[in-house]
Chain A
Amino acid sequence: MAEWVTTHLPALVILVPLTAAPLAFLLGGTLARPIALLSALLSQPLALALAFTVSAEGGVRYEIGGWGGPLGIDLVADGLAATLILVATVVGLGVTVYAWGYFADRERYRYFWPLWLFLWASLYALFLSGDLFNLYVCLELVSMAAVALVGLSLRRDALLAAMRYMLAAILGSLFYLLGVALVYAAFGSIDIATVREAVRADVTGQAAFALMTVGLMLKTALFPLHFWLPPAHSNAPSPVSAVLSALVVKGSFYILVRMWVDVADPSFVPGSAALLGVLGASAIVWGSVQAMRQERLKMLVAYSTVAQIGYLFLLFPLVAGGGAAAADAWVGGMFHAASHALAKAAMFLAAGTVLARFGHDRIAGLGGLSRRAPVTAMAFALAGVTMMGLPPSGGFVAKWQMIRAALESGAWWWAVVVVAGGLLAAVYIFRVVALFLGREGAEGEDADVDAGRSPATMEWATLALALAALALGVLGQPLVELIGVGAPALVAGVGP
C-alpha cells in the first residue's frame, strides 16, 4: 500500500479533492461538509509526502495513461510545484475549517462545498501539469469554479463582479489558447519538456509567448489589467475571497514563471522582463495608493492584493541576468508567493468574521475591534506584519532576498521599489490596526450591532494562517531549500 501511494503520489494529490468534489455535490447539504473536511485532512500528508519525495529525488514525473510526453500528458513536480502545492494545502485546510462555521446556512450555500473542492483539485492539477494544453483546461476549471464561488451570495454586486471576472477570465483563456496553438505550430509539441528543447526565438515563437503572457497577465490581474479583481475579491463570500487572493491568482502567475524562467528565459523576447517589472512596480504603487483610499475593509485587502501581485512580477527582471542574483530572486519571489498566500488568506478571513458579526466592514466603524474580537484583530495585525515585510515574518525574508538580488545585479532601482512598497503597505495597514486598538464605536450606531461571537473555529483558523505566515520567517529554511530543488537552469545559482 505504502509503495502504491508512493508510485502514484502526484496523481493521488489531485485525485483526493477531485473525487470528493462530485461526492459533495451528489450527497448534498449534510454530508458535503464532512466530505470536504475529510478531503482536506487527507491532502495534508499527501502534499507533505510529495514535498519530501521531490526533495529526496530532485523532482517527480508521472506518466498518465503510461504513454509519456509528448504523446501523453505528464504530471511533473519540481521544488516550485511542490512549494505551491504545500501552500495551497495549508491555506485550503484553514479555509475549509473556517467555512465549516461560516456557511452555517447549509441549504443556501450547499453548492459552496463541491465548487470549492473542484477549485482545490484544479489548483493541484494546474501546479502539477507538464503540458501546455492541459494547463489551459486547468485554467478553465480554476476560473469556472472561482467565478461561480464569487457569485454564490446572489447579491447584486456579487453577480456583477462575477460577470466582470468571468468575461476577463474567458478572454484571458482565449489569448492563452491562441498562444498554445502557435507553440504547437512552431515547435511541434505542447509537452513542456519537449517544447523546452525545441524553443527558438522566431516570429511565431515570440508571438506565441506574447499571446500567452497577455492572457495570463489578465488572469493574474497585473496592473493595468487588474480592473476585475477588487470587485470580485471583495464581493465574494470571505472564505472565497481568501482562496482567490491567496491561491487563484498564483495559478496563472505560476504558468508565467514556467514560461519565462523554465521553458525560455526573458531574453526570448527582448524587453519583456523590463516591461513585466515596470508593470509590477506600477501595480505596487497603484494598488497601495488605492488601498489607502478605501472605506471598506475587504476593498482595502483586495487592493492590497493588486499591490502584492506587483512584487511577484519583479521576479522577471531580477532573474533575467542569471547567476547568484537570479537564485536569490527566485527564492525571494516564491517565498513572497507563499507568505502572501498565508497572510492574505488570514486577512480576508478576519474581514469575513468582522462582516459576519457586525453586518458591515466599513473601516471607520471598526474602532476598538481588538477588545470585541481579540483573536480576529490579532490575526489581522499579524498578517499585516508579513504584508509590510517586517522581521521576523515570511514577508521580510521574501523582500530581503529580492533586495539582495537587486543589489547583486546592480539594478538598485528594484530595491527602491521593494522598500517603498513595504512603506506604502505600512501606511494602509497601520491605519486599520491603529483603529482596532483604539476607542470603541468611533462611528456610533453600527458599533452596537453585534451578532455575538462567531464560531471559535473561524477565529482560530484565521489566527493559525497568520501565525503560519509569521513562522515562515523563522522556520522557513526547509521551504527555501525546497524552492531550490530542481530549479530551472537560469535560477540554479550557477554563473552564466
Chain B
Amino acid sequence: MTTFAGLSQTDLYALAGAALFVIGLYGLITRPHLLHKVLALNISSGGVFLVLVGIARRVPGPVPDPLPHAMVLTGIVVTVSSTAFALALAKSIYTETGHAVLEPDDLEETGEVSRG
C-alpha cells in the first residue's frame, strides 16, 4: 500500500475528509449568507464521504469494501435532496425579505446590504 509520510492511503483520505468537515463547519458558523451556509454544509458532507471512502480502502486486496461505497452513494442522494430543498428555501427567503440571510432585520439596522 502506498504511503506518504508514514500515513497509509486510508489515513490520507480520512484526514483530508476530517479537514473538509472542519472547514465546512467553520464556514457554516462564520458566513451569514445562506448560499455560503448551504455550500459549507456540502463541503462538510464531502468530508464525511471522503472518510467513508478511506475506510472502504482498508480491506486487503484490490477491491475496496462495497458497504461504505454504498453508504456514500445513498448519502450523496440524501445530500442532493436536502441541498435542493435548502436552496429553494433560501431563494424563497430572498424573495420574501430581499436578503439571503437568517436575520434580515439586523442587516436593515446596520445598513449593510447583502443581495442574493
Contact = CB atoms under 8 A, between A and B. Distances in A.
A151 B92 contact: yes
B15 interface: no
B12 interface: no
B89 A159 contact: yes
A200 to B, nearest CB: 18
B86 A166 contact: yes
B97 A156 contact: yes
Contacts of A143: 82
Given A144-B81, A170-B82, A174-B21, A184 B89 contact: no
Nearest to A178: B48
Given A156-B96, A163-B93, A166-B86, A177 B48 contact: yes
A173 to B, nearest CB: 8
Interface residues of A, number: 29
A275 B89 CA distance: 35
Contacts of A311: none
Given A167-B86, A178-B21, A184-B67, A154 B92 contact: yes
Contacts, number: 82
Given A163-B34, A174-B48, A144 B92 contact: no
A137 interface: yes
B85 interface: yes
Contacts of A156: 93, 96-97
A174 B102 contact: no
Given A163-B102, A178-B48, A170 B97 contact: no
Q: Is the interface of B mostly helix, strand, loop or mixed?
A: helix
A110 B86 CA distance: 21
Interface string B28-68: 10000010011001001100100110010010000000011
Given A137-B74, A137-B78, A147-B85, A167 B28 contact: yes
A166 B89 contact: yes
Nearest to A139: B78
A393 B52 CA distance: 48
Given A133-B71, A156-B97, A185-B55, A163 B90 contact: yes
Nearest to A177: B48
A151 B89 contact: yes
Contacts of B67: 184, 190
A362 to B, nearest CB: 20
A494 to B, nearest CB: 36
B89 A163 contact: yes
Nearest to B37: A167
A177 B55 contact: no
A181 B85 contact: no
Q: Is the interface of A mostly helix, strand, loop or mixed?
A: helix
A173 B71 CA distance: 14
Contacts of B38: 167
Contacts of A377: none
Given A160-B93, A171-B28, A140 B44 contact: no
A140 B82 contact: yes
Contacts of A159: 89, 92-93, 96
A181 B72 CA distance: 10
Contacts of B37: 167
A64 to B, nearest CB: 15
B41, B78, B93: most-surrounded residue (chain A CB, <10 A): B78
Interface string A139-173: 01001100110010010100110111011001101
Nearest to B24: A174
A181 B102 contact: no
A150 to B, nearest CB: 10
Nearest to B65: A184
A144 B55 contact: no
A2 B61 CA distance: 49
A138 to B, nearest CB: 11
Nearest to B45: A174
26 contacts: A133-B71, A133-B74, A136-B75, A137-B78, A144-B81, A144-B82, A148-B85, A154-B92, A156-B93, A160-B104, A163-B34, A163-B89, A163-B93, A166-B86, A167-B37, A167-B86, A170-B41, A171-B28, A171-B44, A174-B21, A174-B44, A181-B51, A181-B55, A184-B68, A184-B71, A185-B55
